[in-house]
Structure 1
């Protein structure tokens, strides 16, 4: 039994490494990153939200440290499912954020650094996607709230998968 589990672990690691190489997103320079942040701002007339809700790129590695800030993650468990938005406070190194249809969105460390992962619960946990390597298939966006908890915006997703502010 141990040999079988060891073999499965080796196959998983080889598959993960290959996937990471193929799906690796290119790093942006500072100017490109700033331009992406502007392009991905949520369209709202509320200036406080415009000033404090920041689009985050995976290369910024926001989850390497606990910062006690709130994050909004736009994700889905399956290409056929609608986008979901999950809110969580980054106050621990490992946390289960959301689940849907046996898929779990969590912040954890699976040997590739602290990041957002989607796993599938099916007898044994199966790694599905990691935010830093995702090509938009499972993760659409991550936003960080840089203001007080009492002023958290109420975000929603429209029928086209765009993030909007509920008023």
Structure 2
């Protein structure tokens, strides 16, 4: 009888904790049509055809950092919730080991990192390391404004800036 009660208790606890986790998971998942529409809407406004064709807005659900692809990424981020957006560029050219984050940028003692939270399946995400950890995949626009991937050659990397209105632009346009 004790074994049955223990077994039922374990199932109840497991079911309760799983339900709680699922209930907290409010990360948007887009279907292919929605994703393509968002990519179009978030395209950088520029006169340069090459940038329009090769600079791609990325959604967290695409998990672009789980694979080393030797492509350049632009991250528009802010660590202090005051709309002071910064943009950094980095090459996704090395494997991120579990619990050994790669620091990409530091502003006012707040770090932007690539962090690997799991080996199987691999789960590498952008994180803001301040008083708490904030992940790109669960952010509502407070810490991460946009992520773009450059699908062109290194010799033609665009020079992107964030203007006074918080919009990403090609420098000089």
Task: Please indicate, yes or no, whether the TM-score normalized by the shorter chain is above 0.5.
Answer: yes
Q: Which runs of 5+ in 1 are unaligned?
A: 1-17, 121-125
Q: 1:128 aligns with which of 121, 125, 133?
A: 133
In structure 2, the CA distance between the partners of 1:21 and 1:96, relative to structure 1 (3 Å rule), is: farther
Is 1:138 the counterpart of 2:143 in the alignment?
A: yes
1:28-83 superposed Cα distances (whole Å, 9 cap, x missing partner): 00000000000000000100000000000000000110000000000001112500
Do structure 1's residue 50 and structure 2's residue 52 form an aligned pair?
Answer: yes
| 1:100 alignment partner in structure 2 | 107
Q: TM-score, normalised by structure 2?
A: 0.78
Instruction: Number of aligned residue pairs: give it.
Output: 145
Residue 79 of structure 1 is matched in structure 2 by: 81
Which runs of no fewer than 5 residues in structure 2 stay unpaired? 1-19, 97-101
Q: Which has the larger radius of gyration?
A: 2
Moved over 2 A (4+): 18-24
Distance 1:72 1:20, change over 3 A: farther
Q: TM-score, normalized by length of structure 1? A: 0.81
- Identify the structure with the greater strand proportion: 1
